Amino acid sequence: MGTMSIFDFLHRRPVQTVPAAPVAVAPLIAPPDIPRYPPFLQGIPVVASAHLLTTQAELVDKLRYGIGCTPDFFQTQVRPVVDRFAAFVHLLPASEAHHHRGAGGLLHHSLEVAFWAGQASAGKVFAMDREPAVRRVHEPLWRLAAALAGLCHDIGKPISDLSVTNRDGTLTWSPMHETIAQWAARHGLESYYLHWRERRHNRHQSVGMFAVERVLGRDVFAMLFQAD
């Protein structure tokens, strides 16, 4: 994950990526069993985004305590971001052969890091150059920013590290235009397949900025920057 700040993450320049040859992915996973561990041979099932988060309910609940926000703020400001993130990464793995490489690994890993980042921000003093009254107002937003930076630290991977296609590779998902579920529904697909790209190490850090505002939403994005 490195030591990159949220502002570094948001402003890195994109690079061009070149798809590599397809590789085998995962056996069809019955929705009640997700996420499951590899190997994947018959594709990843297309399931509703809402169901994805039912498999991560404990982590989502912990996230609110990690951020230290009220239930109302979490439901109105944070939960929609989590929902959009889940829709974006769907059941993609976090890596091809390393940590969280099972179906749903990227979602699970990202929620874990969001919780850890939010929790680590507790008790930290932010904006030392500001008056105490101003810091009291901004501290919850700095904690939120830390958690959301954790959530989004690997958000570029669906763009840079792999491509998603139908079984024969004739249809390819475009990450910046629609979710995997929307793409699959448009083409009548029940599962999808992964193709890992070559020379992808850390490339996701450069392209993640394209997905950040889409996942955070204009209101949350503006709220964080208005608070400096």
DSSP result, 122-135: TT----TTS-HHHH
Which pLDDT score is estimated for 199?
58
Residue 45 exposure: Cα atoms within 13 Å on the Cβ side? 15
**Is 77 contained in some domain?**
yes
Tell me the chain's radius of gyration from C-alpha atoms.
18
Task: Give burial (CB, 10 Å; 0-12/13-18/19+) of 194.
Answer: buried
DSSP classification of residue 155: T
**Is 99 contained in some domain?**
yes
Q: What token pair was written down for 45?
A: 């099932």
Which CATH number does the domain housing residue 65 bear?
1.10.3210.40
Domain count within the chain? 1
Task: Give burial (CB, 10 Å; 0-12/13-18/19+) of 4.
Answer: middle
Q: How far apart are CA 63 and CA 114, in angstroms?
A: 7
Q: How far apart are CA 110 and CA 138, in angstroms?
A: 24
**Is 109 contained in some domain?**
yes
**Is 11 contained in some domain?**
no
* Contacts (Cβ under 8 Å, ≥6 apart) of 130: 138
Task: Give the SS3 label for residue 192.
Answer: strand
Task: Give burial (CB, 10 Å; 0-12/13-18/19+) of 131.
Answer: exposed
Summarised one tens digit per residue, pLDDT across range 84-105 is 999 999 999 875 555 555 677 8
* pLDDT-flagged residues of the chain (< 70): 1-41, 95-102, 198-209, 227-228
**Is 123 contained in some domain?**
yes
Which pLDDT score is estimated for 3?
44
pTM for the whole thing? 0.74
**Is 18 contained in some domain?**
no
* Contacts (Cβ under 8 Å, ≥6 apart) of 158: 88, 89, 92, 106, 164, 175, 211
Which pLDDT score is estimated for 95?
54
> Which has the closest alpha carbon to 112: 77, 156, 64, 60?
60
**Is 216 contained in some domain?**
yes
**Domain that includes residue 193, residue range:** 25-226
Distances (CA, A) of 55 to 130, 147, 203, 225: 41, 20, 29, 32
Q: How far apart are CA 12 and CA 181, in angstroms?
A: 28
% of the chain residues with pLDDT over 90? 32
Which pLDDT score is estimated for 80?
94
Which pLDDT score is estimated for 200?
53
**Is 5 contained in some domain?**
no
